[in-house]
Amino acid sequence: MAGMKQSELAKRADISPSYLNLIEHNRRRIGGKLLVDIAHALGVEPGSLTEGAETALLTTLREAASGADMPEAEFARVEEFAGRFPGWAGLLADTQRKVEALQGSVEALTDRLTHDPHLAASLHEMLSTVTAIRSAASILVEPGDIEPEWQRRFNRNIYEDSARLADTSRSLAQYLEEADSDASETNAPQDELDAVFQRYGFHLPALETREADVDAVTETLGQDLSQAARWLLRRVLVRYRSDARKMPLGACADVVAVSGHDPFAFAERFDYDLTSAMRRLAHLPEDILPDAVGLAICDGSGVTTFRKPLPEFPLPRLGAGCALWPLYRALARPMMVHVDVMEQSARAAARHRGIAISQPIGPVRPHEDVLFESHMLIVPEPKRDTAEPIRQVGLTCRICPHASCTARREPSIMVTS
Amino acid sequence: MSKQVLLIEDEPNIIEAISFILSRDGWSVKTHSNGADAVEIVKERKPDVVILDVMLPGKSGYDILRELREDPENSALPVLMLTARGQTKDREIAERAGCDAFMTKPFSNADVLETVRALAAK
């Protein structure tokens, strides 16, 4: 290079000719001052003698080695290894980077490990594969000690394992993506269901006809929903259709004309149970029932399974509402109608009448416990003097100002003390 | 005669790597990949140290260890447990079952070697 003798260059760079020989044959890496000295002696740019990629390669190899608790004497030979086996060194560095990335994702996912069997199996598979790769890579990173046959063997193992890792991580990513899109933007299937009724309203003409097909309507309304939300939607629509058959629109209009939104009048007129009457009222169109009524349905665990809120009687999106609502008290005394005039303290004290009953769901069998479900119809109530007691209730504890309430289950952000 | 390690693990490439580093260190390495008859194999081979994976086909590593500890001949046999789950409760289960050392995957070869040496010297 540059027409200069090796001995002359070694002299100018102040190193021994044999050391320069090692450098030239890539048995030693150079850097820092020595690199600058040689470049200066040769009259070229230091950068032209080495490449930045090599520094990155060595850094990665050192990381792999430090993770493997490499003896110091071996650790010092990393440059020799990278110089003599650039291909293997590159492969090892790639593997090390993959292992690091995978270790990162594995750590991030350990929380879910105990909850999801599919995830647990995938992670176990990935950890096993990463372990095999790491062990083989650590063996390879120690140069000189391995016979070529073993070297080939471990390289083949790393190759196979990394392919396996690629498959497992791809299927895991796909699984996670599906799990994510299942939850869609709203997270909870119940939220998706609410969005459907917000969009189409609670009255569905498609279910009022004699030929109404629940599956077809579910398909139309639920096309963008997750599978879980579609399942919820179908369950609501099956009930809707059954109620609509027993209480046709025309007859409903007649009852409303006489008794307004009185669910007892509906139950009596159609000789049907009170909860069906409540649901029918909640799904009537505006031209038959101008003053909309609200409805909340919860199962025996208190979880809301259906909600039609009113502007001044909101229902919580997540979790249960106020334990003082007759909806929940009805669960303690099934088959009895609870009627309360309520003022939701957080809502400028608008007044509503809650009519609630809890009834068995499913067939009743001898000597078997039944499960209960509670309905609460919410009817706006004019504010006027009344002999009836007015119950102060909340929406959820977090936004309720009643400091001393026996039903409180969590502190309020509105009560400073 | 070199000391014997019995490696009970079902992942072939992990077996190969651990066998390699232990053999190179002078150990006689025997391997076994099934949980169901692992206890019998231990009784038969009488190893100096056992490396035992938790997730094995047939029987879990915890159960194998408990059975070994009930056997007077193996109540003090040095056992290193390997698991892919590094949660505190897994370590607790392993320790209650009577393991001498516990290591989570991915582990380093050097750690395995060092631990096996330490267990054999006990």
Residue A399, domain CATH = 3.30.450
How far is Cα A198 from Cα B98, in angstroms, rounded to an integer? Answer: 59
Q: Considering CB atoms only, which of A131, A150, A157 is closest to B105?
A: A131
Q: Rounded to an integer, what distance in angstroms lies between the CA atom of residue A175 and that of residue A188? A: 18
Which parts of chain A have pLDDT scores under 70?
1-3, 24-33, 44-55, 104-105, 107-117, 143-144, 178-188, 317-319, 345-349, 413-417
Q: pTM of this prediction?
A: 0.50
Question: What is the band of B43 on the pLDDT scale with cuts at 50, 70, 90?
Answer: very high
Phi/psi of residue B82, each to 5°?
Answer: -115, 135
Rg over alpha carbons for chain A, rounded to the nearest Å, is 37
Displacement of CA B72 from its chain's centroid (Å): 18
Do residues B55 and B34 lie in contact, with contact meaning Cβ atoms separated by under 8 Å? no
Roughly how many angstroms between the first and final C-alpha of chain B, as a whole number?
18
Q: For strands B4-8 and B28-32, give the pairing.
A: parallel
A vs B: CB pairs below 8 A: 73
Amino acid found at A389: P
The residue from A157, A183, A209 where one domain ends is: A183
Contact B21 A154 (CB under 8 A): no
* Cα distance between residue A10 and residue A38, in whole Å: 8
Range of the domain at A347: 293-417
Chain B nearest-CA residue for A157:
B13
Q: Minimal Cα distance from B103: which residue of A? A: A131
Q: Which two tokens stand for residue A313?
A: 């009687």
Task: Answer for the pair A59, A27: CB distance below 8 angstroms, yes or no.
Answer: no
Residue A350, domain member (yes or no) = yes
- On the question of pLDDT at B39 being above 80, the answer is yes
d(CA A282, CA A294): 6
Query: In chain A, which residues have their Cβ closer than 8 Å to the Cβ of B55?
Result: 124
Q: What is the pLDDT of residues A168-208, one digit of tens each?
A: 888 888 877 766 554 444 456 787 888 899 889 999 999 99
List the strands of the sheet with A304-308, edge to edge.
Answer: A304-308, A294-299, A371-380, A351-361, A338-344, A390-393
Q: Based on the structure, what is the number of domains in chain A?
A: 2
Would you state the pLDDT for residue A183? 41
Partner-chain residue, chosen from A130, A135, A160, that has the shortest CB–CB distance to B17? A135
pLDDT (0 to 100) of residue A3? 62
What three-state secondary structure class fits A236? helix
Q: A259 and A234 in contact (C-beta within 8 Å)?
A: no
- Among candidates B17, B21, B24 on the partner chain, residue whose Cβ is nearest the Cβ of A132: B17
Interface confidence, given as ipTM, is 0.87
> Is A46 a domain residue?
no
Domain B4-121: homologous superfamily in CATH: Response regulator (3.40.50.2300)
In a domain, A32, yes or no: no
- pLDDT value at residue A182: 44
Three-class secondary structure assignment of A32-88: HHHHHHHHHHHCCCHHHCCCHHHHHHHHHHHHHHHHCCCCHHHHCCHHHHHHHCHHH
Whether residue B11 is predicted with pLDDT greater than 80 in this model: the reply is: yes
pLDDT computed for residue B26 by the predictor: 92
Q: Does B106 touch chain A (CB under 8 A)?
A: yes
Q: Taking the mean position of all CA atoms in its chain, how far away is CA A294?
A: 30
pLDDT at A101: 75
Residue B107, chain A, CB below 8 Å: the answer is: yes
Distance CA B10, CA B16 (A): 11
- Inspect the interface and report whether the beta carbons of B14 and A132 lie closer than 8 Å: yes
User: A136 and B17 in contact by Cβ < 8 A?
Assistant: yes
Q: Which of A384, A379, A409, A381 is nearest to A394 (CA)?
A: A409
Q: What is the pLDDT of residue B84?
A: 81
Closest listed residue to residue A321, CA positions, set A372, A282, A356:
A356
Q: Is B109 on the interface with A (CB under 8 A)?
A: yes
* Lookup result for tokens 């260890």: B65
Q: How far is CA A190 from CA A143, A186, A325, B104, in A?
A: 60, 9, 21, 40
Q: How far is CA A184 from CA A180, A196, A198, A221, in A?
A: 6, 14, 17, 16
